[in-house]
Amino acid sequence: METQEIRFHGRGGQGAVTSATILATAAIRQGRFAQAFPSFGPERRGAPVVAYARIAGAQIRNRTAIQQPHFVLVLDPSLLRLVQVEHGLRPGGTVVLNTAKDEATVRKEFGFRSRLALIDANRIAREEIGRPITNTVMLGGLLRAAELVDPKVVAETMQEVLGAIGPRNVKAFERAMAETTVHEARG
């Protein structure tokens, strides 16, 4: 398996680091090599946060920040006004975006040309978890867009990591896998 690199854009308190950790842990449980790590600026709730995950079929020696991801997850759509989330995205890469907007609107408003996976993660999180914490929902969107790890293993890992709030998060994750729409790249 070629190394797959994922970059998560969120805000402090939204769980970007936790979702990267859950994804990497699930990959390791499947016999792959993986790592997850954050990149913080001033650490405060609501500040932009970037987290990274790598999944590979062989030992990972690279410990640097991911500059050319295969996948970019945007947990908070307000970041699209602050961060160029497509920056460095590999050709054929995918942006997994939390949005209630349709593909045409997203492409027109933000100029995206890459492959898109769109999910109204805020709505699903409010309905299933009771709060707009979108990290586990976005993992569902990612796994709808790409078969990186077995969703059952991710759900089991999620349950273990999140404890009492695990079942609601697993339900949100599963809904996201079903409700995410994937759109191929445009010119």
pLDDT tens by residue, 114-136 = 999 999 999 999 999 999 999 99
Kindly report the pTM of this predicted structure: 0.95
**pLDDT value of residue 39:** 82
**pLDDT value of residue 148:** 96
Report how far residue 176's alpha carbon sits from residue 122's, in angstroms, rounded to the nearest whole number: 11
The answer to whether 136 and 151 have CB atoms below 8 angstroms apart is no
The answer to whether 34 and 93 have CB atoms below 8 angstroms apart is no
The SS3 call for residue 140 is helix
> For the sheet containing 4-11, what is the strand order?
33-39, 48-56, 4-11, 71-74, 94-98, 115-119, 181-183
Give me 75's structure tokens. Answer: 């947990």
CATH number of the domain bearing residue 41: 3.40.920.10
User: Helices 166-179 and 121-128: crossing angle, nearest 10°?
Assistant: 140
179: pLDDT strictly greater than 90: yes
Residue 43 — very low, low, confident or very high, per pLDDT cuts 50/70/90? low
* Domain containing residue 164: 4-183
Instruction: Work out the mean pLDDT of the chain and round it to a whole number.
Output: 94
Number of independent structural domains in the chain: 1
45: pLDDT strictly greater than 90: no
Average pLDDT of span 85-113: 96
Give me 151's structure tokens. Answer: 């969703």
Report how far residue 8's alpha carbon sits from residue 52's, in angstroms, rounded to the nearest whole number: 6
Phi-psi region of 91 (alpha: psi -120 to 50; beta: other; left: phi over 0): beta
